Structure 1
Amino acid sequence: MLKAILTLDIGTTACKAIVFDLEGRILAEQGKEYPIYQEKPTWAQQDPDDWWGAAVSTVKGCIASLEDMPEIIAIGLSSQRETVVPIDREGNKLDDAILWMDRRAKGQAEELVDHYGRENLHRMTGMIPDSTFTATKLLWYKENRPEIIQKAYKFLQPKEYIAYKLTGECATDYSLASRTMMLDVKNRCWIKDIFDYIGVKEEQFPPIKYSDEVVGYVKDDVAPLMGIRSGIPVVVGGGDRQCEALGAGIFGNRAMESTGTTTNVSMGTDVLVDQVDERVIISCHVLRGHWLIEQGMTTSGTINRWFRDNFCAMETSVAGEIGERDYALIDRELAMSSPGAGGLVLLPFFMGAKSTRWNASARGALLGLTLNTKKRDIGRAILEGVAYEIRACLDILQSMGLSVDEIVAMGGGAKGALWNQIKADVCGRPIKVPAVTDAASLGAMILAGTGVGVFGDAKACSKRLNGIVKEYLPDGGNYRLYSKLYGIYNEIYKALEPIYDKLAEI
């Protein structure tokens, strides 16, 4: 019987289930979106039961779509990071999950900086103090809803919640633990002083395992819900970006640009860099003894979705396609806007800025509107604005002495030919697309296979399973144009920076 590995990726906008054979080929794939709840403009929460409902639905759909049922030998997990949900001893949520993009804990981030010092926190945890990280959210609970801290049995991140629902066991891994801003990133252990300051206990967090270890086995009462057998080993897995880096083969002078809900620019290393730019994050990798140098935005793909939902309902003359919200159709129209988007420049900071800016008060901006501006120009300016910020991330890596010769595009954004070419032209480097662009899922699959002993070296497995299938080379003329616009892009940000704090107070 054909053997296969099932993966679940609990993303910010959707859950994706994939059944892989042991050669990395996709046998079945299902996705299901779930909502983000915003009680206030800068808040963002999700119901963890929506994650679980989507996981059950997508796995069941995958299994039903298979003509010849393989033997599923393991389940691998990946998920969004920093998001936290408190549960009681019976596994019931005490609150909806506070997402990584939620900005309510800006004041708590500043409080931690005042107490520990920005440089000291960065040195200890590898994280840049920001409301993104779990520590700030827990401090917000302490100061605003202390009963949550008191009642919580465990604080779980998304894949940990799904693993618990699947197996009844709680475990985290070093890749997600490092994103709490509560872990000593060098020595890979919890920082007791930070726990004490926040007012939580280490036992309220799951035990830390390596990403290729088994957390537990599918429970008897869960298996029928999904159409799978009970007893399948569930491997711990890791954060989506670290899993992506593994699945994309990000070694040597390759950088990864992963665009989904947001965009992350990463490079892997087996040694800690001595001179770390204070704007760069160092996370624990899903590979043992490795780290990931990361720069992440707050919004990028979500801006594209915002454009789709608000401006593309879709007016189109293509027969049979009226009303469809299809990114391929949108790209056809955006391609009619020339490079430079008719003089429009967009700042993609719709929920604050991370990556190179680290300004929670930053907001999106669109400059250059005229009466000749068309919808397609606005859409293209969105794609170009994200590409400018990717270039800013590469500039920082270069300033650290890290040479980036090529960029591997991952995530949903890698499927857009127009966007890939824009990124190549803006950054002046080849954009390469591998066979599997859902690298988080592939990385989780490799970890799961390693965990049950069917794969040996995870790096070698990544290179074997996910070769490059498409390449976008930069156009010299477009690169020169975009270089001028990139300079203007940075000038616009500097000009608006003093205004952002005033705007945030309104």
Structure 2
Amino acid sequence: MSPEPQPVRDLLIGVDVGTYSSKGVLVTLDGQIVRQHVIPHGISMPRHGHVEQDADGVWWADTAAIIRELLREPGAADRVAGVACSAIGPTLLPLDTQGRPLRPGILYGVDTRAHAQIGALNDEIGADVILAHSGMALTSQAIGPKIRWLREQEPGVWAQAATLISAGSYLTFRLTGQHVMDHHTGAHFMPLYDPRTRAWTDEFAVPVLGSAPLTCLPRLAWSDELAGHVTAQAAAQTGLREGTPVAVGTVDALAEGLSVGVSRPGDLMIMYGSSTFFILVQEAPTPDPRVWSVGGAFAGQVNLAAGMGTTGSLTRWFADEFAREHDTGAAYEELFTQAAALNPGADGLIMLPYFSGERTPINDPHARGVVAGLTLSHRREHLFRAALEAVGYGIRHNIEAFRDLGADVRRVVAVGGGTRGGTWLQIVSDISGEAQEVPAVTVGASFGDAFLAGLAAGVLDRADLDRWVQPGAHVTPDPALAPAYDRLYGLYRDLYTQTRATVHALGAPT
């Protein structure tokens, strides 16, 4: 009697939950996209500095709905070799003993609620000690201060908390029943993570966790490792086959970097999303308080990371508030067309893009947006051009910080919604002096997740990334604009230092 033929597992699924939308892709083993699906969503800002999302109503509901849509063809689930998820991060989500969320997830560095806890931890442990231990300073991106905020400000929630995880980890838990977190995300749970041993440490646990044990944190693993398999419950909710392998996954930015082939030392990804995120692959860490030293996707890999707080969300706010006569797509088309026709410098305007505070390299949660140089001759498009250039100055500031600390930037790859049309990319290249590559296919983090799924399932190896990512556009700076933008960049840097005390006072409680 001949054995039954084995089913063909020739598809992979990647799902990414972002700040304003979730996206999934169904991909073949050679990187060809079979199907995509996107679900938009919002964020909650219950008070200034607090930015949250619902773990079940947004993160898991989106993920389950996207997977069901990707698998709508009969028999598709049986062909899936693996699945992986990424999400906004690092975030903080407390779960009870049954794995149920106790409150909305507290988002990454755009949530600045824990500034008092940052000060307290720096005082109690020592800012220099934390930098030496973690390889980076405490900022709004760090989860340790947010854990302490939760313990101090919401004692009722804290008393019920059994597990503390991040958004991507929650999706993996809902799929597999396993609590596991990737090293890149874990590094941001500072000072509870030791980058030398790549393990949780209790050395500074008491100031953060109080009497809670380190066992409230999930198991650590690399992004391409196997987290577990789809449970019967998850299979019923998503349409996946029970037992499908699930990768550990990671944050959206790291998955986005993989999606465009950023995997070798010297590769720098600039992700143009709601915020702008930077990931530089390194051969050795270069700790510095201005930026973040974290683990990479693969075992032993090191990344230097950075992030601006308000970039794509700034342009979205601008379109929503000042181009209300159009829907968002038409508003963007008109605004970008008008901005592209203006001279560099927006006819004498400079903007600071710190509309939600700022992360790297100034790490100032109290920073605010500023517009300087307004006259009665300026129009809406001048302000929009100034917003695009403000992001360009911020990107230059971060790249300069990388190079100041000795990091080697050899190749810049751009990805994200802000790359569409080319206007913004050209402005950034002209301001920074950096050429940028844009691969032919820039699906986003979900494409990188699908690749991680293939690695975890054992149907791909890392060398396959080269055939998944195809070359595309190449944006080069205009050297004739360098003198003008060098001058304007200097004024941009001065504007922050000269207005810092004023905007801090304006934002202070009255």
> Is the partner of 1:117 in helix, strand or coil?
helix
Q: Deviations over 1:479-502 (max 9, x none)?
A: 222111111101101101222331
Residue in structure 1 matching 2:31, options 24, 44, 68: 24
Is residue 119–residue 278 contact of structure 1 (8 Å, CA) maintained in 2?
no
1:4 aligns with 2:11: yes
> Is the partner of 1:186 in helix, strand or coil?
coil
Is residue 224–residue 456 contact of structure 2 (8 Å, CA) maintained in 1?
yes
Give distance in 2, aligned partners of 1:437 and 1:346.
Answer: 29
Where does 1:95-494 land on structure 2 (aligned, <5 Å)?
95-100=103-108, 101-181=110-190, 182-198=192-208, 199=210, 200-250=212-262, 251-273=264-286, 276-315=287-326, 325=330, 327-456=332-461, 458=462, 460-494=463-497
Q: Deviations over 1:166-204 (max 9, x none)?
A: 222211121111111121122211120322222232111
Q: Deviations over 1:430-479 (max 9, x none)?
A: 111013324422332222211111122x2x33233213200111112222
Is residue 285–residue 303 contact of structure 2 (8 Å, CA) maintained in 1?
no
Q: Deviations over 1:16-57 (max 9, x none)?
A: 111111122221111112221111121111111111111122
**1:416–1:196 CA distance, 2 compared to 1 (3 A):** farther
Give distance in 2, aligned partners of 1:323 and 1:71.
Answer: 37
1:75 aligns with 2:83: yes
1:134 is displaced (CA, Å) by 1.3
Which letter maps to 1:80? Answer: I
Where does 1:74-93 land on structure 2 (aligned, <5 Å)?
74-93=82-101
Is residue 28–residue 63 contact of structure 1 (8 Å, CA) maintained in 2?
no
Give distance in 2, aligned partners of 1:375 and 1:32.
Answer: 30
Matched length: 496
Is residue 351–residue 360 contact of structure 1 (8 Å, CA) maintained in 2?
yes
**1:59–1:327 CA distance, 2 compared to 1 (3 A):** farther
After TM superposition, the score normalised by the length of structure 2 is: 0.92
Give distance in 2, aligned partners of 1:220 and 1:70.
Answer: 14
Is residue 407–residue 431 contact of structure 1 (8 Å, CA) maintained in 2?
yes
> Is the partner of 1:104 in helix, strand or coil?
coil
Which letter maps to 1:38? Answer: M
**1:328–1:454 CA distance, 2 compared to 1 (3 A):** farther
Give distance in 2, aligned partners of 1:408 and 1:291.
Answer: 18
Which letter maps to 1:287? Answer: F
Greater Cα shift, 240-249 or 192-201: 240-249
Greater Cα shift, 328-337 or 203-212: 328-337
Greater Cα shift, 65-74 or 290-299: 65-74
1:70 is displaced (CA, Å) by 7.6
**Percent identity of the aligned residues?**
29
Give distance in 2, aligned partners of 1:126 and 1:213.
Answer: 24
- Structure 1 residues not aligned, in runs of 5+: 316-321
- Structure 2 residues not aligned, in runs of 5+: 1-7
1:57 aligns with 2:65: yes
1:420 is displaced (CA, Å) by 0.8
Which letter maps to 1:190? Answer: W
> Is the partner of 2:232 in helix, strand or coil?
coil
> Is the partner of 2:71 in helix, strand or coil?
helix
Is residue 76–residue 236 contact of structure 1 (8 Å, CA) maintained in 2?
yes
Is residue 277–residue 396 contact of structure 1 (8 Å, CA) maintained in 2?
no
After TM superposition, the score normalised by the length of structure 1 is: 0.93
> Is the partner of 2:204 in helix, strand or coil?
helix
Highest RCO, 1 vs 2 (Cα 8 Å, sep ≥ 6): 2
Is residue 166–residue 222 contact of structure 1 (8 Å, CA) maintained in 2?
yes
Give distance in 2, aligned partners of 1:312 and 1:360.
Answer: 28
Q: Deviations over 1:367-396 (max 9, x none)?
A: 121111111111111111011011011111
Give distance in 2, aligned partners of 1:387 and 1:111.
Answer: 34
Which letter maps to 1:501? Answer: H
> Is the partner of 1:64 in helix, strand or coil?
coil
Which letter maps to 2:256? Answer: E
Which letter maps to 1:196? Answer: V
Greater Cα shift, 398-407 or 372-381: 398-407
**1:191–1:351 CA distance, 2 compared to 1 (3 A):** same
> Is the partner of 1:108 in helix, strand or coil?
helix
1:68 is displaced (CA, Å) by 7.5
Give distance in 1, aligned partners of 2:17 and 2:478.
Answer: 36
Which letter maps to 2:17? Answer: I
Give distance in 1, aligned partners of 2:473 and 2:78.
Answer: 30
> Is the partner of 1:228 in helix, strand or coil?
coil
Q: Deviations over 1:310-333 (max 9, x none)?
A: 122245xxxxxx785553443223
Q: Deviations over 1:226-278 (max 9, x none)?
A: 333222111111122222333333324332111212112221113223xx332
Which letter maps to 1:259? Answer: Y
1:504 aligns with 2:507: yes
Is residue 424–residue 431 contact of structure 1 (8 Å, CA) maintained in 2?
yes
Which letter maps to 2:173? Answer: Y
Is residue 81–residue 179 contact of structure 1 (8 Å, CA) maintained in 2?
no
Partner of 1:318: none
Give distance in 1, aligned partners of 2:120 and 2:76.
Answer: 56
Partner of 2:20: 13
> Is the partner of 2:343 in helix, strand or coil?
coil
Give distance in 2, aligned partners of 1:395 and 1:66.
Answer: 52
> Is the partner of 2:13 in helix, strand or coil?
strand
